[in-house]
Amino acid sequence: MKWYLAAALAGYTQAALRFGCSTVSIQRLDPVVEPGRIPSAHVHQIVGGNAFNATMNGDIGEEGTCTTCTFSEDFSNYWTAVMYFKHTNGTYKRVPIMQNTALPNGINGGMTIYYTQQDFNSNGNQKITAFPKGFRMTVGSPTTDSLNQKKNVGLRFVCLQDKGTRFPELPDFPTKPCKGGIMTVHHFPSCWDGKNLDSPNHQDHMYSTTKDAFQAAGPCPASHPVRMPQLAYETLWDTAQFKDMWPKDGSNPFTLSYGDDKGYGTHADYLFGWKGDSLQKAMDSNCMFNACENGRPLKSQGVAAMNACKAKKAITEDVDGWLKAMPGQ
Ligand SMILES: *[C@@H]1O[C@H](CO)[C@@H](O)[C@H](O)[C@H]1NC(C)=O
Ligand SMILES: *[C@@H]1O[C@H](CO)[C@@H](O)[C@H](O)[C@H]1NC(C)=O
């Protein structure tokens, strides 16, 4: 009887996407926060569709010719600040990005992207509404300069023993060397006001019911009643080459590209660009992770095609050498 009522309300489904996207570009552009500005304030790693540029308008799913993501209908762009290592000799080196565990081998850098429902187990018997065309949002803010546990819920660092380490989740940078590297995690808000594709601060059209570590979200408030997919990014930073260069005073040598060695300002950006109703189809299905590939219901591609896709660089500057300063800082 209970099951019957649930089915009558919205339909009980268990669907979740977890997939890799290789790096499409590493440069100073930010079409959400600083549209049109070349270069933008700090260096990002971007994954997804190759139309990525300083200005992005219209139906992103119909722009560009390829995507670095496993799901080949996903031309969205996903980005975060990159990480630099600060040597005691005063120079900076970009920390390489490595692929996550349980993804096909050979992915070039990139991020792991999640679209879950209420949690990993179900949609909570409610419709999960895919993002509309033109939708964009950010989470976190590079100007946050104190530890605000409540504000930064879902924005985490993990000190990796190996690629499978998930706990503990830290609110700021690990304070000792991490054998397997560092993972950053960004959980976006998932309750929408139902009206606005964006807002002046790129956040007020959304409301976060996120709890850490993919726990079941709380209910959406009346101001933001529409439950959307729970979007999350994982990025794995390969710190191994710096292990013998850790400062003698024990201070954290890593910094995000906008000059944040505490990690309080960790943030991420999202620009929706799935083709047609492909994301809605996935959220309405019962597919989990790579079982959603090969047309069941999503089209997918292999690692070689993902890695071959690149966005043009709008700025030619060195972001990778031993640099006197991080670009823009
Ligand atoms: C990116 O945007 C700039 C400035 O708006 C433009 O000049 C350039 O052609 C664009 N690049 C691509 C690849 O579309
Ligand atoms: C700083 O140290 C790195 C790593 O050993 C080295 O490659 C770089 O040239 C050094 N830079 C300066 C200015 O000493």
Question: Nearest ligand, CA of residue 241?
Answer: 2
Give the residue from 314, 309, 281, 318 showing the smallest Cα distance to 296.
281
- What pLDDT is recorded for position 1? 36
Query: What is the Cα 226 distance to its own chain's centre?
Result: 21
Q: For residue 239, give the 3-state DSSP assignment.
A: coil
| Residue 6 CB–ligand 1 contact under 6 Å | no
Residue of the CA atom closest to atom 1 of ligand 1: 53
Place of tokens 């270069």: 39
236 Cα to the center of ligand 1, angstroms = 30
- What pLDDT is recorded for position 10? 66
Q: Is 58 exposed, middle or buried (0-12, 13-18, 19+ CB in 10 A)?
A: exposed
Give the residue from 101, 1, 86 showing the smallest Cα distance to 324.
86
Place of tokens 């800082």: 329
Tell me how far apart the 2 most distant CA atoms of the chain are, in Å: 69
The span from the CA of 121 to the CA of 103, in Å, is 21
| Below-70 pLDDT ranges, the chain | 1-10
| Residue 314 CB–ligand 1 contact under 6 Å | yes
pTM over 0.85: yes
Residue of the CA atom closest to atom 14 of ligand 2: 89
The span from the CA of 196 to the CA of 76, in Å, is 18
Beta bridge partners of 69: 21
- What pLDDT is recorded for position 327? 98
Query: What is the Cα 305 distance to its own chain's centre?
Result: 21
Q: What are phi and psi of 196, to 5 degrees?
A: -100, 130
- What pLDDT is recorded for position 100? 97
The span from the CA of 133 to the CA of 24, in Å, is 21
User: What residues are in contact with ligand 2 under a 6 Å CB criterion?
Assistant: 87, 89, 91, 322
Which residues does 221 contact at the CB level (< 8 Å), separation at least 6? 191, 207
Q: Which two tokens stand for residue 270?
A: 């999202």
Give the residue from 189, 160, 186 showing the smallest Cα distance to 171.
186
